[in-house]
Amino acid sequence: MIDLGALASLRAVDTHGSVVAAAEALGFTPSAVSQQVKRLEKQTGVALLERVGRGVMLTAHGRLLVTDGSRLLTDLEQLESGLHRDSGRVAGRLRVAAFSTAMRGLLAPVVRDLLLGHPDLTLALTEREPWDTVDLVASGQQDLGIVHSWGDVPLHVPSHLVGVTIAHDVADVIVPRDHRLARHTRVSPRDLVDEAWVATPEGTICRQWLSRMYDGTDRTPRIAHVAMEFDSHLALVGAGLGIALVPRLGRRPLSDDVVAVMAHRPTPTREITVLHRASMVESPAVRAVVEALRRPSTDPHRGDPCRRT
């Protein structure tokens, strides 16, 4: 009988390209993953991995097992979801990946009450960027993923994933209190063409959106400083080192040395979505988490659920 846990480990090796990376993704030690793959080889009677240089790759038998076995794992997941649906129990362990402001502004406010209301439910939370989250949910390494997409900046989602929109969030232009724009009620990119920006790193979705805002101005944003966390952006703006585009979701209360100014033409709006595999659509646990995230919050920095500003 094929060990399904070992099969999941083999699939992780295929997804991440090495035993070490698969172990890190699964939360196991490399030796544990290696032992699972060896057990699977003993059960099937064929070699599943072969060494290539310092790494490993799946053999033809290994790739066949992952391809066909993934369908089996999906069928079992769907069966388990159906059984839980019929029993009506919100139970089990769900792995949830989310971007940083969603972790602060969406998950943190609701997880405590959610777990108190469903004592048989366990959540394991991981902070990841949206593109990584899509891959992790699609490959079965996370069960739920909270992602965001800005305007027309695409976020590719595989067809076997289901997305539920839970909120729309708006970003403001944050400027020093003594800045020339601090008294404006709103600004457009044309008001900002000569400004120095504090921005997220190149390749991030937020950086892409900032660049896209400048379409039609014949200019690109002038990036003076780069920081991953929006709290760092606020600190740098407060120090007078530039301006920043900071979402409202999960944003800490602004200090006295900075001001938030609304942006328009375009309004920087992002759609926030919960992703899960279609095979989990009947799961009461998945439904309970999604519904908890969709409920309006009294936190003014959470964002505006399911409504565009």
Q: What is the pLDDT of residue 7?
A: 85
The CATH code that applies to domain 93-166+270-294 is 3.40.190.10
Eight-state DSSP code of residue 17: S
Inter-residue contact 142 to 97 (CB < 8 Å): yes
Dmax over CA atoms of the chain, in Å, equals 73
The CATH code that applies to domain 169-269 is 3.40.190.10
Common-topology check for domains 93-166+270-294 and 169-269: yes
- For the chain, the average pLDDT equals 89
Residue 58 CB neighbour total at 10 angstroms: 20
The CATH code that applies to domain 4-84 is 1.10.10.10
* Domain residue ranges of the chain, discontinuous segments joined by +: 4-84, 93-166+270-294, 169-269
DSSP-based three-state secondary structure for 175: strand
Altogether, the residues listed in the chain come to a count of: 309
More confident residue, 309 or 55: 55
Kindly report, residue by residue over 62-105, the tens digit of the pLDDT.
889 988 887 777 777 677 777 666 677 888 889 999 999 999 99
**Tokens 């609701």 -> residue:** 110
Inter-residue contact 237 to 195 (CB < 8 Å): no
Amino acid at 160: H
Kindly report, residue by residue over 101-120, the tens digit of the pLDDT.
999 999 999 999 999 999 99
For the segment 128-139, the average pLDDT, to the nearest whole number, is 90
CA 215 remoteness from chain centre: 27
Q: What's the whole-model pTM score?
A: 0.78
Task: Calculate the dihedral angle through the C-alpha atoms of 64, 70, 76, 77, rounding to the nearest 10 degrees.
Answer: 180
Inter-residue contact 259 to 195 (CB < 8 Å): no
Residue 296 confidence class, pLDDT cut points 50, 70, 90: low
Which contiguous run of DSSP H or E holds residue 51?
A: strand 49-52
